[in-house]
Amino acid sequence: MSTSPSTVDTLLHPDWIVPVVPRGAVLTNHSLAIHDGRISHILPRAEAASLTAARELALPGQALIPGMINTHGHAAMSLLRGYADDLPLMPWLEQHIWPAEGAHVSADFVRDGTELAIAEMLRAGTTTFSDMYFFPDAAAAAAVDAGIRCQIVFPILDFPTAWARDADEYISKGLRLRDELKHRGLVQIGFGPHAPYTVSPQNLLKVATYAAELDLPVQIHLHETAGEVLAAVEEHGERPLDSLNTMGLLGPRTQCVHMTDLGDQDIALLAATGAHVVHCPQSNMKLASGACPVSKLLDRGVNVALGTDSAASNNDLNLFAEMQTAALLGKLTAGDAAALPAADALYMATMGGARAMGLEQEIGSLEPGKQADIVAVDLSGPECQPLYNPLSQLVYACNGSQVCHSWVAGAQLLHNRQLTRINLKDLQQRTAAWQEKISSTGKNQ
């Protein structure tokens, strides 16, 4: 039986702890201790005096929450933020984004773009992100250097790009990356078949076989628009979700991103298979793709996580904004102001993501024994006053810039809003060089 140590690495004294599990709980006059990268204690402030800590931090006016989990994105696309706005999905992709990626994406682009995304995410409370992009080795390297936790789903497409020639090469390169990173505790590798309209049924079948054999996660863009579903029904005679099910691709290791076009039968299938949904409300709204029926999914017991998608379709990587949008859109979609209360939105941004990634025993809530992935949010400013309910402020009033500190596996990556492992000045110079290069090339060249 393991006992909690009386000597700890770090002892935090916030005004509130919002552990997420149990849902809706808010602890006052409590302290949290970190030891060996994990949460060792959450205890009443009066009892914290019995602990000896190497480092103690008073956090007046601040709330501790679990580090947030951005369950879907393409981090390096931060270099394409604002490159093509106000367009629907397919013209945006086919006429603007894919040509720009064809012209500019390289290992250096991914390295710098991912670092820019990580800097933004850490400063807004994200401590774990999922990434689906070319040169996933460069994305993983940026994450390892920054100390942030991530899930890298290596891309799979039927067509050639700068990273791979065909689906077999995408898969073999991705699996090699998985072998190289197997022992990196903060990095999890999975399959990232882009979408049913860019990956053939034969190649999706290969993904299903490998994923089952290796027990790896699979993340896919799915039912992003009604047009996607309609085109698939015309071509294959069935809805994409049904095709994936027939292929054996729907199950507890599957993360279905977007899911705006969903009927009752689709929802029943998701519930029966245990597949997860990753809701990206701001991207769905900006591209006018549609709205995921989150309340119905939750009512049927489907796990829903939150993602920003890329900075090219959002245009920021801020889960506070995403939580607020999810809550507001959820109410509008359900026609019910009681739908998606603040506690549910925060759950989706934390435990929802952890469950989707199969990491629910490790992250997603503040509980003794879990990894110390923690964020401290300042609720003392005028935008959060008066303060009747910290949970309400976190979801409906905070904007991300109130994040003061964050820790991943006990390592402090943000201290008083300063990134501890990223040189922001140098990063901003590299970003400016990319902007210069991309804008001088001109659009679609």
Ligand X SMILES: CSC[C@H]1O[C@@H](n2cnc3c(O)ncnc32)[C@H](O)[C@@H]1O
Q: How far apart are CA 434 and CA 112, in angstroms?
A: 9
What residue has token string 């990580």?
118
Minimum CB separation of residue 153 from Zn ion in Å reads 10
Q: How far apart are CA 183 and CA 196, in angstroms?
A: 31
Looking from the CA of 212 toward its CB, the CA atoms found within 13 Å total 10
Among left, alpha and beta (phi > 0; psi -120 to 50; other), residue 44 is beta
Stretch that binds ligand X, among 37-45, 110-118, 307-315, 411-419 (CB under 6 A): 307-315
309 makes contact with Zn ion (CB under 5 A): yes
Q: How far apart are CA 111 and CA 86, in angstroms?
A: 27
Minimum CB separation of residue 258 from Zn ion in Å reads 8
Closest CA to 260 of 222, 219, 300: 222
Minimum CB separation of residue 39 from ligand X in Å reads 34
74 is in an annotated binding site: yes
Burial class for 237, CB neighbours closer than 10 Å (0-12, 13-18, 19+) = exposed
221 makes contact with ligand X (CB under 6 A): yes
132 makes contact with ligand X (CB under 6 A): yes
137 makes contact with Zn ion (CB under 5 A): no
Chain residue whose CB lies nearest Zn ion: 309
**Binding partner selected for residue 405 from Zn ion, ligand X, none, CB under the kind-specific 5 to 8 Å limit:** none
**Cα–Cα distances in Å, from 2 out to 5, 38, 183, 185, 195?**
9, 13, 25, 22, 45
Residue of 30, 81, 96, 194 that binds ligand X (CB under 6 A): 194
Minimum CB separation of residue 188 from Zn ion in Å reads 18
194 is in an annotated binding site: yes
135 makes contact with ligand X (CB under 6 A): no
35 is in an annotated binding site: no
Cis peptide before 315 (omega within 30 of 0): yes
Residue of 155, 190, 240, 353 that binds ligand X (CB under 6 A): 155
310 makes contact with ligand X (CB under 6 A): yes
Q: How far apart are CA 88 and CA 290, in angstroms?
A: 11
Stretch that binds Zn ion, among 96-104, 121-129, 161-169, 307-315 (CB under 5 A): 307-315
The two three-digit tokens of residue 345, written as one number = 């939105």
What residue has token string 């006059």?
29
- Binding residues vs ligand X (CB under 6 A): 74, 89, 93, 97, 101, 132-134, 155, 157, 194-195, 221, 224, 283, 309-310, 313
- Binding residues vs Zn ion (CB under 5 A): 309
User: Which parts are annotated binding residues for Zn(2+)?
Assistant: 72, 74, 221, 309
